[in-house]
Each structure stands twice: as C-alpha cells, then as structure tokens.
Amino acid sequence: MTNLTHLTIAEALDALKKKDFTAKELTEAHVKATSEFRHLNAYVTETPEIAVEQAEASDKRRAKGEAGLLEGIPLAIKDLYCTKGVRTTASSKILENFIPTYDSTVSGNLMRDGAIMLGKTSLDEFAMGSSNTTSAYGNVINPWKRSTGDNADLVPGGSSGGSAAIVAARAAMGSTGTDTGGSIRQPASFCGIAGIKPTYGRCSRWGIIAFASSLDQAGPFARTVEDCAIMLQSMSGYDPKDSTSANQPVPDFRAALSGSIKGLRVGIPKEYNVDGLPAEIAKLWEQGKDWLRSEGAEIIDVSLPHSKYALPVYYILAPAECSSNLARYDGVRYGLRVEGKDLTETYEKTRAQGFGNEVKRRIMIGTYVLSAGYYDAYYTKAQKIRRLIAEDFAKAYEKCDVLLSPTAPSAAFAIGENEDDPVKMYLNDVFTIPASLAGLPGMSVPAGMSSDGLPLGLQIIGKPWDEATVLRVGHVIEKAAAITALPAMLMKKAA
C-alpha cells in the first residue's frame, strides 16, 4: 500500500473519494507517525483519541455523500488556537491548565470542513520568538540535519515551530500557524515546506490567543502550494465575532494556481539586499528571478525606502500590543494562580512564575514605550513610520504585481545559537516583518538547499487580498525548484 503519510492533501482527498482507503486508516497512519517522531517534541498535547473518533465520523459523512473540503484530512493545530475541551497553552506555563469552552473560528472552520485534529503543536511562548526555544514545554527539533555530519539539533524556526516540524516530518498533512512578524514564513523556510500568511483580516482572529492584535494573522502550512491553497480556502472568511475580520469575497484559491504568470510584473525590493546576506541566499534569489522570467514574468526593481526601519518599528509596536493583551493573565481569570498575601502580590507572583523570560522582556519593553513620558517618542513615532512602510508598498505596487525576496537571512540554525543575543534573533524576520506591518499577504515556498543540505525558502509578497497571485507565483517557483530532498531521518524510516 502507498505510504499514507507521504501523500499530499490533494492526493489524499482524491484517494479518499475513490475509496482507496478510509479516513480512519489515513488518520491511524498519522497517529503512528506522530509517536515515531515524538523526539521532535512538536506537540504540547497529542489528541489521538479525538483524531480517531473524528475520522470515524468523517467516514460516515463521506458514505452519506456529505464530504467537506478537507474531509478526512489529519492536521495539527498550533496551540494558540482555542480548541473546545482540549487544553490550549500558548506554550506558556501561565495557561498550563487552560481548557477553552469554545473553538477558534479558524480551527472550527477546518473541522466544519471535515479536517481531523491530531493534536496541539508547540510554539514560542505566546508566539514570541523565531526558534521555538521559548516554549515552556521544551524545544522543538527540526527534522532536518546538516549534511556536514555534525548531527546538531536544529531549530524549526518560530514561532509556529511545532506546526512546521511535524508537517516536514510527514506526521501531519498540514497544520495551522499564526504569523505576527514572520512566524509562518520563517519556519516554513527552515523546515522546507510551504506556508502562507494571508492579508490581515482574511482569517478571523477570534479564539486565537492574541499576541499583537494589529499584526496577528492565521494561515496554513503544508508540503505543497496547492495544499496551502486548499487549507486557506477553508480557513478564510468574514467573521462578525472579530471586528478586524474583513468582509471580502474569498476567491477559489486552488483554481487560481492554474493561471499563467506571463506578463506578471515581479518587483525586487532593492533594500532587501541587506549587508551580510549570505552568497547562497543571494544566488537563490537570482535563481528565483530567472525561473519567473522564463515563465514570462517581467522583473522590475522597486524601492521600499522605509523598510530599514521595519524591525525597530515592529519591536516597539508588537511589545506594546503584547503588554496590553497579556495584562489579562493575572491569576484570577485564567490558568495559573500563585497565591500572595494580597491581590497585588498574587498578580506579581503569578506573572513572575507563569511567564518566561522573552515574554517578560516584551511586556517590559511594551510597558515602557506606552508609558506617559515616552508614548509620543516611541509608540506614536513607530505608528507613523508603520504608515510610511505601508505607503512604500502601495507605491511599489503601482509598478509591479508581486514582490520576490528571500524568506529568511539564513537556513535553520542550531538550538542554542543566537540565544545570548536577542537582537541577533530578531534579525531573522528582517524580510518578513515589513509585509506584516503593511498587512500584506506573504508566502514562503521551498526553493533550494543550502551548501550544508538545509532547505531555503523564497518569499512572495502580494497586494492586499491578492493571495491568489501569491499562490500562483509560489506554484511556479515550486515546480521550477522541484525539490525532492527529504530529511535524512525520513529516508532512514523509508528504507
């Protein structure tokens, strides 16, 4: 029988329709793979019983002719999405025992369409990080290893590291992530899979634990662009429960893949040629331009002059919003409570013990930039520059239809690297944050391999609401790159 865990979502949907196997068989194969890859520590909570139960219900629906868009497809859900009756921790100690009484809109949409939940994946605590090393439940390990034979455990990227690692390990067919400044795109690049952050407002934020509300967006990870398109279809849509959800028509994303890119104008932001960009990444970027050119696209140089301020702006605005969003974790309403002699001491002890260092660092920065004497100097200023960054994109899009850049300035690094220097860690998102600040859709597609055998992604950034073109360009790059390499630990398994 075919190796069920190596199928794409599109292939599995066809095979389920043809009754080649059942959703229960497909799910059980993934539950088994989940246990085989437990050493990656990708999950905070596995939910095999729920998965099998859902699969049985899915088979019944299909038999009755009621199959949904993702009928019978086993997925992993980032542990930032509230799931009814299933512990949801945000990878924080402060939410160790939090069991939501409702489903987030987006995970609910996936289940409505017949998807099956394998478990809740680990992330950087409250989605703050680029390495999945700030989780209170331990590091997540990337299934890829360097080909140099050093055998070091590598980070999967972050914050959606568990979701990316488990899809790369072929133990889930797809997964959900969230992206505030790069948390879908950078882990997708590090793990050699595809991931798309849609336009801000495309997917509801309702029931997704908030980090920075003006930036947070849900999106899918999968092993192909087509699978991302299928998942995004289900995840998207207007939700009256989220006041920032946009009432925009959702196009047929999968159908958009078949169009040609002839005549499409692809902008190359010159400022993304940052100092110290590794030669192999610059080369991959060139290769990407060539692939698109040979499909009839026109390559155009554009300028995003304010993008050099994107990182400092982000590291004012995101902490500011997080400091206010995380004020609700006070030991009274949710999760952990450490009793003190009075209410204030209870707050202090709960927050001191419940939050990790990175979260505390951000709450302190956020509180500082929002405090009376500094508000205008930092917060207001950053808001103004955010507007300029967004205007740069709008201007660039007068000349082009999409932008192409590397996703990240490096391949996956070893666990522990960059740990002593938060600023160096923050540089991971230099290419992803500008689009986040402007609310634009962005996707990472596997496009090449580093000299030490690790996956590298290219990023496609689109106009607002134009995920369809982003996906189409991603599909062209994916076909041209035709990557067949697998993490060595999977090849051993197959052998």
Q: Please say if 159 is a catalytic residue.
A: yes
Shortest Cβ distance from residue 396 to ligand GLN (Å)?
Answer: 22
Q: Which is nearer to ligand GLN, 127 or 445 (CB)?
A: 127
CB 140, CB 268: distance < 8 Å: no
Shortest Cβ distance from residue 289 to ligand GLN (Å)?
Answer: 26
Contact residues toward ligand GLN (CB under 6 A) are 127-130, 159, 179-183, 211, 318, 429
Question: Which residue of the set 107, 183, 323, 405 is catalytic?
Answer: 183
Question: Which residue of the set 24, 58, 78, 444 is catalytic?
Answer: 78
Shortest Cβ distance from residue 465 to ligand GLN (Å)?
Answer: 21
Report the C-alpha gap between 426 and 332 in whole angstroms.
32
Q: Please say if 197 is a catalytic residue.
A: no
Q: Which is nearer to ligand GLN, 94 or 215 (CB)?
A: 215
Shortest Cβ distance from residue 180 to ligand GLN (Å)?
Answer: 3
Q: Which is nearer to ligand GLN, 114 or 457 (CB)?
A: 457
Shortest Cβ distance from residue 461 to ligand GLN (Å)?
Answer: 15
Closest among 88, 125, 128 to 104, alpha carbons compared: 88
Q: Give the C-alpha distances (Å, rounded to integers) separating 481 from 284, 408, 470, 485.
A: 10, 17, 16, 11
Q: Which is nearer to ligand GLN, 37 or 329 (CB)?
A: 329
Q: Please say if 78 is a catalytic residue.
A: yes
Q: Give DSSP secondary structure letters for 128-139.
A: --SSS-S-TT--
Q: Give DSSP secondary structure letters for 252-279.
A: -HHHHTTS--TT-EEEEEGGGS-TT--H
Q: Which is nearer to ligand GLN, 172 or 437 (CB)?
A: 437
Cβ-Cβ contacts under 8 Å for 124 (sequence gap 6 or more):
91, 130, 131, 132, 133, 134, 135, 158, 159, 161, 183, 358
Q: Which amino acid is located at 310 in the chain?
A: A
Count of CB atoms situated within 10 Å of the CB of 96: 14
Give the CA diameter of the chain.
70
Q: Per the structure block, which two tokens stand in for 317?
A: 């605005």
Q: Which is nearer to ligand GLN, 79 or 179 (CB)?
A: 179
Count of CB atoms situated within 10 Å of the CB of 45: 16
Residue nearest to ligand GLN (CB): 183
Range list of β-strands (E), 214-321: 217-222, 265-269, 298-302
Q: Give the C-alpha distances (Å, rounded to integers) separating 456 from 39, 192, 292.
A: 23, 7, 17
Report the C-alpha gap between 437 and 317 in whole angstroms.
9
Question: Which residue of the set 58, 91, 159, 436 is catalytic?
Answer: 159
Shortest Cβ distance from residue 426 to ligand GLN (Å)?
Answer: 7
CB 121, CB 162: distance < 8 Å: yes
Q: Which is nearer to ligand GLN, 129 or 462 (CB)?
A: 129
CB 437, CB 386: distance < 8 Å: yes
Active site residues: 78, 159, 183
